[in-house]
Amino acid sequence: MKVVMTQAVCPEGLAMLEGKADIYVADNGDPNNYLDEMKDADALIVRIAKCDGHAIENSPNLKVIGRTGVGYDSVDVKTATAHGIPVVITPGANNRSVAEHAVAMMFALSKNLLEGQMEMCKGNWKIRDAKKAFELEGKTVGIVGLGAIGREVAKICEGCGMKVAAYDPFMSKEQIEGYGAEYYENYEELLKASDVVTIHVPLTEQTKDMIKKEQLQMMKKTALLINCSRGGIVNEADLVEALKEGVIAGAGTDVYCNEPPATDDPLLNCPNLVASPHSAAQTREAVIKMAQMCINGCMAIVEGKKWPYVADKAVYDHPKWKDAEWAEV
């Protein structure tokens, strides 16, 4: 078995392949740049990279694509599915890490930590009198997307004494209320009512630019916006304008339309922004869980068994999977 990796997974993941696979680590985010290596690859593991249809169609031996994460917008799933190639994902592996990161951004912004540190280091001790910090207890957190990560955020925020409200088009009122959250049928109404808005939805045609100028203007002037989901869900140009003009009080983002963003990106120069390099899921614990789960799935598929955690289960309607059995998880 040959496994190509866009970037190396953690040592704990590599150890699972020791003696079982030949590994090629490209250290390159585009498989089209090493198609010679892809010609005999059984598996491609995609980390910080994109895998388009051209790369898939020019990898004749490819049996599986693995994503060390739950998002798969960086992979042409449609083309992979048409060729009977499952795209393995790792749901649940990074839930807590991403949730904690989102809440950490809430705390950093609500306590004005970044400005406080920067001003103090300049000798401005009077920044302590700015009175910009506020408590999260009693505030309403509006969660857009009450999936596994959104529910973990709700749990943490509830523990902080926050009121939890949520919008999720795939969940009923009873389901959302069953998780202890106030139900909102319309996400724009949720934006209006929330002191903190945190986004936990995938990037799709429906969610692209879901929050732009019109929606930002609906939010409270004192509100915070957190995005640890995907770049493109929040319109970045409109967010820059909203932050500079005081339409909202602050924002935290772990994701960008273009990654990595340019150092002169206007968004990064907003003083009321907390930014991180798409690292919410990159805790020691989550990195190990994602790698191990991804490799387990890839190995099962290469062995001809169906793995349940894939981007599109319609892939198993392909003739090559007709008589395949399900792998034990």
Which domains can be identified in the chain, with CATH numbers? 2-93+284-321 (3.40.50.720), 95-275 (3.40.50.720)
pLDDT of 247 over the 90 cut: yes
- Strands across the sheet with 87-88, in order? 22-25, 2-5, 43-46, 64-67, 87-88
Q: Please calculate the CA angle 254-171-159 and round it to the nearest 5 degrees.
A: 55
What integer pLDDT is reported at residue 71 of this predicted model? Answer: 84
Candidates 261, 204, 250, 194; CA nearest to 227 is 250
Q: In angstroms, what is the C-alpha Rg of the chain?
A: 21
Whole-angstrom distance, CA of residue 242 vs CA of residue 212: 9
Beta-bridge partner residues of 167? 144
Q: Quote the pLDDT of residue 98.
A: 97
Q: Is the dihedral of CA 97, 311, 27, 20 positive or negative?
A: positive
Token look-up 């995938």 returns 202
Tokens (6 digits) for 237: 């140009």
Do 77 and 311 form a contact (C-beta atoms < 8 A)? yes
- 278 labelled catalytic: yes
Specify the pLDDT at position 288: 97
The predicted-structure confidence for 278-322, as pLDDT tens digits, reads as follows 999 999 999 999 999 999 999 999 999 999 999 999 999 999 999
Task: With cut-offs at 50, 70 and 90, classify the pLDDT of residue 96.
Answer: very high
Render pLDDT for 17-51 as a digit per residue (tens, 0 to 9): 999 999 999 999 999 999 999 999 999 999 988 99
Catalytic residue among 177, 259, 285, 303: 259
Q: What is the distance of C-alpha 8 from the center of its chain?
A: 19
* pLDDT score of 329 more than 90: no
Q: How confident is the model at residue 92 (pLDDT cuts 50, 70, 90)?
A: very high
Question: For residue 36, what are the contacts with CB-CB under 8 A and spacing of at least 6?
Answer: none
Q: Which entry of 47, 96, 200, 230 is annotated as an active-site residue?
A: 230
Does the global pTM surpass 0.95? no
Instruction: Report which secondary-structure segment, H or E, holds 102.
Output: helix 95-110
Instruction: Check if the beta carbon of residue 65 is closer than 8 Å to that of residue 74.
Output: no
Per-residue pLDDT averaged across 139-152, rounded?
97
